[in-house]
Amino acid sequence: MSKPLSGRVAWVTGAGTGIGQAGAIALAEDGAAVVLSGRRRDALEDTAQRIAAAGGAADIETLDVADGAAVEAAAARILQRHGRVDVLVNSAGLNVTKRNWDVVDRSGWDTVVGIDLDGAFYATRAVLGAMRARKDGLVVNVSSWAGRYDTYLTGPAYNAAKQGLVAMTAHLNMAEGKNGIRACVICPGEVNTPILDRRPIPVPPEVRATMLQPRDMGETIRFLARLPAHVCISELVIAPTNNRLWMNPVG
């Protein structure tokens, strides 16, 4: 029996861990051929092995999305190899421990903005021409609760980058909807992923258990990819029922 995404090609950045890994696995489960990108090849190989064990198909493009030239080169290889990119998931993202105004430095700012915002722009721009030519394509940008609501906890660089993703997604829909291209920005509350390890105050296991889990985000990405081409969910805000980010700040 044909799977919902059979014949489709998905490129997922940040695919080695967390939301990106869960999204890649979910897309592969539905039949998509998935290209995995991230900075750590060992983590990408772990994701690829999980996909293969479930009968899916994946290949790897090791990549630092903050390097615009490298992103363009990777996209060119993917398009040459697969002929298309139907779904782009921009999930590469991080934060720094020294994040608030009294401790953040230029390096920290550049690192966060370079990966979380610039990287998504570079990857989107790199596949946009091919999507435009085919009059079809879905871009999923993984933002944050901090992308929709001002949040003290996450710091100025992360907030700026994630709010920038929301604005960039909106503009993409304005400009490219007529070309059959749709984009959705996901704004999740706290998710139990390795990014929590960089929190200034450690998050205990019992608190992590109440958060959104990577598989929840994988299912969300799967849902978006399954939608018919004439449907565009521009923005999706999702949070754990016990949403600690309503309380400002939290540890």
List active site positions.
158
Say if CB 170 and CB 222 are below 8 A apart: no
Q: Which two tokens stand for residue 88?
A: 């782009």
Say if CB 43 and CB 32 are below 8 A apart: no
Helix residue ranges, H only, 94-199: 106-113, 119-134, 145-148, 156-176
What's the rounded Cα separation, in Å, for the pair 118 and 66? 6
What's the rounded Cα separation, in Å, for the pair 135 and 137? 7
Say if CB 8 and CB 75 are below 8 A apart: no
Looking at the DSSP assignment, which residues form a beta bridge with residue 62? 38
CA distances to 96, 98, 114, 236, 237 from 102, rounded to whole Å, are 13, 9, 21, 32, 30
Phi, psi for 18 (deg, rounded to 5): 55, -135
Which residues make Cβ contacts (< 8 Å) with residue 103, sequence separation at least 6?
A: none
Which residues make Cβ contacts (< 8 Å) with residue 218, sequence separation at least 6?
A: 19, 22, 23, 25, 26
